[in-house]
Amino acid sequence: MTSRVATPFVAEAPQIAITIDDFNFFGASPAVAEQRNRTLLGALRAHKDLKVAAFICGKNIDSDLGKNLVRRWGDAGHLICNHTYSHWFYPNRSFEEFAQDTLRVEPLIRDMPGFTKRFRFPALKEGDTLERRDKMREFLKAHGYRMGYVTVDASDWYIDQRLRARLTQNPQSDLAGYKQYYLDHLFDRATFYDGLSRKVLGRSVRHTLLIHHTVLNELFLGDVLDMFATKGWKLIDAEHAFSDSVFSAEPNILPAGESIIWALAKATGKFNDVLRYPGEDSVYEKPKMDKLGL
Ligand SMILES: [Zn+2]
């Protein structure tokens, strides 16, 4: 062996995949919904043809238009996954009702390219009792599903809600403040969950960021991708992210759910000083957005 020049230690760049939930078109006209769908797909294509996982809520796309819009994601190579039909909050429903609602979305998406048996609970709420939690875990396995956990949770849906309200008031509103708030929020949350991952698991997992099919992302998804790349994060395909062993974890906590990193941290009992409940919600963003007049 010849001697080697020692390479300086470089911390491994964090890796992150994008996951897009709900496909709620908020009653938009077909032309507006089509345009939003095209713009989101275009932003991903423009970014090295990045592949995401789409978690589909059945009731939002239960129409010819809705199915056509989702199918384009499958045609473009993205994963099409299950996010229930009705988007119920599991703690408010019986296991039987909720389990049936999980299967109800399948006929809408199972023949599409990209259909993948990966499941995500609405609002990341996985059951508030041991029985309810474990029955769904068994049910999903029996039906061939793997979990579509979020590692980086965020409140993009709430920023979108406020941005749409502003646009309703005045379609000509300056949206620069919303864009900055959104980018800062996502990076802050990504940094938090990545730091927690390193503390709890001793490593940076392959992250999955939760965002939604919204006006906010129609406007700023390209900026989100650029931001992560500029900050030294590596954008990866969702399928690759999901091959990380963290997505097979079954943390023993109640209520079950939240970011999988949050849940694994909670299960150790050691991080209660940094774990708020819920992990993410509008209540944390509202005062800050109010103060900024957004
Ligand atoms: Zn959802």
C-alpha 202 – ligand 1 centre gap (Å): 30
SS3 26: coil
Q: What is the pLDDT along the chain (294 residues), one digit of tens a residue?
A: 444 555 555 668 999 999 999 999 999 999 999 999 999 999 999 999 999 999 999 999 999 999 999 999 999 999 999 999 999 999 999 999 999 999 999 999 999 999 999 999 999 999 999 999 999 999 999 999 999 999 999 999 999 999 999 999 999 999 999 999 999 999 999 999 999 999 999 999 999 999 999 999 999 999 999 999 999 999 999 999 999 999 999 999 999 999 999 999 999 999 999 999 999 999 999 999 999 999
C-alpha 82 – ligand 1 centre gap (Å): 10
C-alpha 244 – ligand 1 centre gap (Å): 22
Query: Quick one: how many helices (H) and strands (E) in the chain?
Result: 11, 9
Cβ atoms of 28 and 217 closer than 8 Å:
no
C-alpha 213 – ligand 1 centre gap (Å): 10
Give dist(CA 215, CA 220) in Å, integer.
9
Beta partners for residue 118, in sequence order: 146
pTM of the model: 0.95
